[in-house]
Amino acid sequence: MSQPRLLIIGQGLAGTALAWRLQERGVPFVIVDRGDPVTSSKVAAGLITPVTGMRLKVSWRFEVFYPEALRFYRKLGKRLGRRVFFPRGYVRLLQNEQERQKWPRRLLESEVGPFVHPHIPELDPTIVTLPHEGFQQRHAAWLDTVTYLEASRRFFGAAYRQAIVEPGEVHDDVEGVTWQGERFSHVVWAQGWQAARHPLFHWVPFQNALGTLLTVKVDLQGERRILNRGCWIIPQPNGTMRAGSTYEWSFPNPPAASSKVLEELEKKLRDFLAVPLEVVDYQSAVRPIIKGRQALLGAHPSHPRIIFFNGLGSKGSVRSPWLAKHLAEHILDGAPLDPEFDLQANDPA
C-alpha cells in the first residue's frame, strides 16, 4: 500500500491515544475492540502524580510526559465537548519513620523542588488520623478514563468496530496487512495484558499485575484534594470516592482480587481516615507491565507491518499521549524510536 491506513487492535489508553494521533495527521484508521466491560483502562483511577512510590522520587521522564499529556487531554476535551482531565491538589502524607527521614533529603534534590507546593498542606484533623507531616504536589491530576474512552469511541464513529481479533485472522505481506478482506498498511496490537498470549509476542517478558480499587461513600467535609497515606483517595464528580490501589503478581483466570488484599486495602483506608466510611463496590483489572521496561513499541523483528504498543504499566494516563505521538512519527515518518522503548532492542533472537 502506498498510503498509510492503520488497523489498531485495542481501544484502551494505548490504542485510543494512537488513534487520536492519526486523526490529528489526517491518516485513516480502523480501531477494533472486543468491548470487555472491565479493562485496565476502564478501571484505572487515571491518577497523574509527579512524586510517586515509597522512594518519593519524581516519576521517570515526568517532565517530558506531563506537558504532552496536558496539551493532549485539554485539546481533546474541547474537541469532544467533554472535560476529561482534572488538575487537582495532591496531598502526600509521610507514612512511616523511614519516609520522614528520607523526605528532607529528597526536597534538596533539584528535580523534586518544582513539583512541591511551597506550603505544608493543612488538613482538617477531624477527617484524617495523625500523623499529618507531608507535602502537596504540583502538577498532579486525574484523567476520567471512562469518559475519555467513551467519548473518543463516539467521535471515531464508523472507524470504531466492536470485534475480537484473533492473531491468525490478520495476514501480513511486504506491502501491508489484510483483515476481513480489508487492506491496511500496518496493524498495531495495543491489546494490553492479553498480548502475553499473542503467538508473535510470547517472548516479551510480561509481568502483569492485578490491581483493585474501592468505591466508598465518605463525608470528607468539602476536601477536594487527592489524599494519600499508604493508600490514596480521590473525590469523584458523582460524590463518591475511589480509593486504592493494590498489586497482585499472581492471580486466577478470570482475574479476581483475593479477599486478603481487599481486606488489607479497606483496613489501610480505615486507619487513614478519621470519619466513618462505607465500601459500596470494588473493581479489579490487570495492568500490562513488561519486566524492566517502561513500555515497548515498534515493529515485530521479522514482520515489519505488525506493530506492538504495550507495557504502559501503572502510568498509562500520563505516558500514552507522548508514546503514541512517538510511535506515529516512527510509523509515518520513519523517525527512529527511542531505544528505551524499542521492541526490537528486546528481541531475544
Ligand X SMILES: Cc1cc2nc3c(=O)[nH]c(=O)nc-3n(C[C@H](O)[C@H](O)[C@H](O)COP(=O)(O)OP(=O)(O)OC[C@H]3O[C@@H](n4cnc5c(N)ncnc54)[C@H](O)[C@@H]3O)c2cc1C
164 binds ligand X (CB under 6 A): yes
Among 76, 140, 165, 227, binds ligand X (CB under 6 A): 165
68 binds ligand X (CB under 6 A): no
Q: What is the DSSP string of 74-110?
A: HHHHHHHTS--EEE--EEEE--SHHHHHHHHHHHTST
294 binds ligand X (CB under 6 A): no
Residue 65, CA atoms < 13 Å, CB-side half-sphere: 21
* Pick 50 or 211: Cβ nearer ligand X: 211
321 binds ligand X (CB under 6 A): no
How near is the Cβ of 78 to ligand X at its closest, in Å? Answer: 22
Among 43, 218, 227, 290, binds ligand X (CB under 6 A): 43
Whether the CB-CB separation of 142 and 84 falls below 8 Å is answered with no
| Contact track, ligand X, 109-138, x by CB under 6 A | ------------------------------
Residue 319, CA atoms < 13 Å, CB-side half-sphere: 21
Residues constituting the chain: 349
- In whole angstroms, how large is the CA radius of gyration of the chain? 21
Sheet holding 303-310, edge to edge: 160-162, 29-33, 6-9, 186-189, 303-310, 296-300
Among 19, 41, 106, 296, binds ligand X (CB under 6 A): 41
Which residue, 158, 33, 58, 66, is CA-closest to 112? 58
Segment contacting ligand X by CB under 6 A, of 33-41, 170-178, 249-257, 269-277: 33-41
Segment contacting ligand X by CB under 6 A, of 29-37, 113-121, 168-176, 331-339: 29-37
* Pick 113 or 327: Cβ nearer ligand X: 327
93 binds ligand X (CB under 6 A): no
Residues binding ligand X: what is the number (CB under 6 A)?
A: 42
Whether the CB-CB separation of 298 and 341 falls below 8 Å is answered with yes
Q: What share of the chain is helix, strand, coil (3-state, %, to 5)?
A: 30, 30, 40
Among 50, 192, 298, 321, binds ligand X (CB under 6 A): 192
Subset of 212-231 contacting ligand X (CB under 6 A): 212-213
Among 52, 95, 152, 191, binds ligand X (CB under 6 A): 191
Segment contacting ligand X by CB under 6 A, of 3-11, 67-75, 112-120, 328-336: 3-11
- Distance, in Å, from the CA atom of 100 to the CA atom of 72, rounded to the nearest integer, reads 36
* Pick 2 or 188: Cβ nearer ligand X: 188
* Pick 63 or 124: Cβ nearer ligand X: 63
* The C-alpha cell that represents 243 in the structure block: 480509593
Beta carbons within 10 angstroms of residue 219's beta carbon: 12
Amino acid of residue 76: L
DSSP H stretches of helix in 48-179: 62-80, 97-107, 145-156
* Binding positions for ligand X, rule: CB under 6 A: 9-15, 32-34, 36, 39-41, 43-47, 164-165, 190-194, 211-213, 244-245, 285, 287-288, 310, 312-318
